[in-house]
């Protein structure tokens, strides 16, 4: 039996509300580092870090902020497997599709079919995307 648009919408909303309730209950039960911080402070901090990553021109600085995100996730008792499954893999797969053409199409010094500048551009995109996404679960 085919479901209507309204039925699909209601089912989607119910699934989203169930996930939100589960996440809230999980956060309340756990005594991680960021669960006790005021949500406004967390939002401002997350926004500042993401803007900093987007404006950075250093892969090592972005990598350091990514490691900070992983450390905060561990301190907030977010399982790294869950972090990778929920956020890391989908983000990496979608960003790969965008970054892959840059490896070959960006003008510059060639290494086989790829260019050094293209590889650097793709690395910036992937690391920035992963870093921005990594902050989501540990700050919510």
Rounded CA-CA distance 65/45 in Å is: 12
**pLDDT tens string 39-74:** 788 888 888 888 888 899 999 999 999 898 888 888
What pLDDT does 120 receive? 92
For 53-84, the DSSP string reads HHH---HHHHHHHHHHHHHHHHHTT--HHHHI
The chain-wide mean pLDDT, for the chain, equals: 81
Inter-residue contact 103 to 114 (CB < 8 Å): yes
- Per DSSP, 114 falls in state E
């Amino acid at each position: 039996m085919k479901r209507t648009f309204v039925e699909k919408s209601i089912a989607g909303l119910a699934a989203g509300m169930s996930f939100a309730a589960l996440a809230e209950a999980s956060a309340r039960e756990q005594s991680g580092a960021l669960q006790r911080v005021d949500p406004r402070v967390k939002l401002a901090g997350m926004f500042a870090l993401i803007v900093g990553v987007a404006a950075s021109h250093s892969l090592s600085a972005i990598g350091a902020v990514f490691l900070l995100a992983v450390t905060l996730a561990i301190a907030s008792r977010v399982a790294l497997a869950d972090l990778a499954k929920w956020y890391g893999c989908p983000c990496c797969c979608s960003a790969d599709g965008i970054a892959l053409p840059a490896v070959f199409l960006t003008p510059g010094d060639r290494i086989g079919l790829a260019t050094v500048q293209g590889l650097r551009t793709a690395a910036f995109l992937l690391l920035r995307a992963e870093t921005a996404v990594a902050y989501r679960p540990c700050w919510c």
